[in-house]
Every structure is written in structure tokens, then in C-alpha cells.
Amino acid sequence: MLLLVGLGNPGPKYAQNRHNIGFLAVDEIVRRHGFGPWRARFQGQASEGRMGTQKILVLKPETYMNESGRAAGEALRFYKLEPDEVFVFYDEIDLAPAKLRVKLGGGTAGHNGLRSLSAHIGPDFWRIRLGVGHPGRKELVQRHVLSDFTKAEWPAMEKLIDAVAAELPKLLGGDDGSFMSRVAHLTSPPTPKPAPKADKPEGGDGEAASQSKDTEAGHGL
């Protein structure tokens, strides 16, 4: 059993907030992989499914962001999981919008959801950091994360969420490097190389030049 936790705040008021990208990510995971319906469990909404032979529980805590650890801790204890069997999806202001990073363990970097999780299950869980950008000044951070994605931002964020859901089996299978590489490729595909230019005929080929002129003149008839 693996536990996937999306962080966010419950209710329609917050549904499209940058702070709720964790909820949006796990919603797409459940939809894409055909998991079961959401139902009330562990102080949140939970859905069950499988990826390969691995059983998965997806959880959206309804304790609000600052108490996310209460819900995750209850699920972890029920299934007797270790922290490194928990994967947490959340907004990261220190990453550019639509960028992604993954790591196991670490600090909280001022994120109240991570602080609560660390208090309830310890720091050694997987962090799937979904970039939402920084507003530029510390005093603007709260308003930034509790505001909706703009129309200009949303297409890139939607592409990130789709890529995370599509490539998730790689991460859950232990290949976090391949997961990050594939998500980066899908969200920022490499620019195609320009086609090589054809070699120009050498100027000394008088016959070819003459034929070209004759052809051009013929088109004028």
C-alpha cells in the first residue's frame, strides 16, 4: 500500500487557488487511472485504486492546509505505513510556475501543510513540489497562494498536472529521476532543430544557371 496525499483547502471558494494544486493533481491521478469514487475517510476524501500490483490510497485532507498532517497521520497509522511510503503533492512558491521537483525528506520551507505533516508523520516522506511561482515579496505570498490561477497561467499548469498523472507509475516504481525527466519533456518539449539548408549550386555552372533562366522565362508565357 502506498499513500498519495494532495494538499489543499476544502470547498469551492478555494478550488482553483494556487494553494490547491495538490488537490488538482490527485484529482487527475484518480480520474486518469480509473480509481474508485471519493468517499469520506481519515478526516478527508479518499479514493482507492491500483497501479500494476501496487495498491494505492489517495487522500485529500479536509482539515484545511494547516492541519493536513492529522488526516495523513490517521491513514498512515491505520495501514501501518512508513513515511517513505507517503507521496505528498503540494504548491511550491520557490519553483517557477509549472516546474516540478521531487525529493525524499527535507524541511518545511515555511509551508504550513508540510509543517503539519512533519509533526504527525515525521519528515521522511516524498515531496512532489509543483511550482506556482513567487509574487516577489514575502508579504504578498499568502495572497498569492490563496488566489486563483490566472487564465494565462492555467494552460501550463494543466499540462503539468496531466504529465504528473501520466508519468506517476515511474515515481511509484522507484524511478524518480525518470519521472522528473518525462514530466519536464512533456511540459517543455525541446525545440525542433531547423532543417539543414540545401547546398547552393556553384556559381561556375553556367549551363545550370542558363537553364534556370530559360525556365523562369518560360513561366512568363
pTM of the model: 0.85
From the candidates 19, 111, 120, 134, which is the catalytic residue?
19
Find out whether 183 and 164 touch, Cβ atoms under 8 Å.
yes
Q: Is 19 a catalytic residue?
A: yes
Number of domains within the chain: 1
Instruction: Give the CATH number of the domain where residue 151 resides.
Output: 3.40.50.1470
pLDDT of residue 211: 45
Q: What are phi and psi of 166, to 5 degrees?
A: -65, -40
pLDDT of residue 192: 65
Q: Which amino acid is at 213?
A: K
Cα distance between residue 1 and residue 169, in whole Å = 14
202, part of any domain: no
Exposed e or buried b per residue across 43-56, where buried means at least 16 C-beta atoms within 10 angstroms of its C-beta: bbbbbbbeeeeeeb
78, part of any domain: yes
194, part of any domain: no
18, part of any domain: yes
Residue span of the structural domain in which 89 resides = 2-187
73, part of any domain: yes
From the list 160, 199, 203, the residue with the least C-alpha distance to 183 is 160
Tens of pLDDT, residue by residue, the chain (221 residues): 999 999 999 999 999 999 999 999 999 999 999 999 999 999 999 999 999 899 999 999 999 999 999 999 999 999 999 999 999 999 999 999 999 999 999 998 889 999 999 999 999 999 999 999 999 999 999 999 999 999 999 999 999 999 999 999 999 999 999 999 999 999 986 666 676 766 655 555 544 444 444 434 343 33
Cα distance between residue 144 and residue 196, in whole Å = 46
Rg (CA), the chain: 25
213, part of any domain: no
SS3 48: strand
107, part of any domain: yes
147, part of any domain: yes
Measured CA distances, 7 to 92, 181, 214 (Å): 11, 23, 72
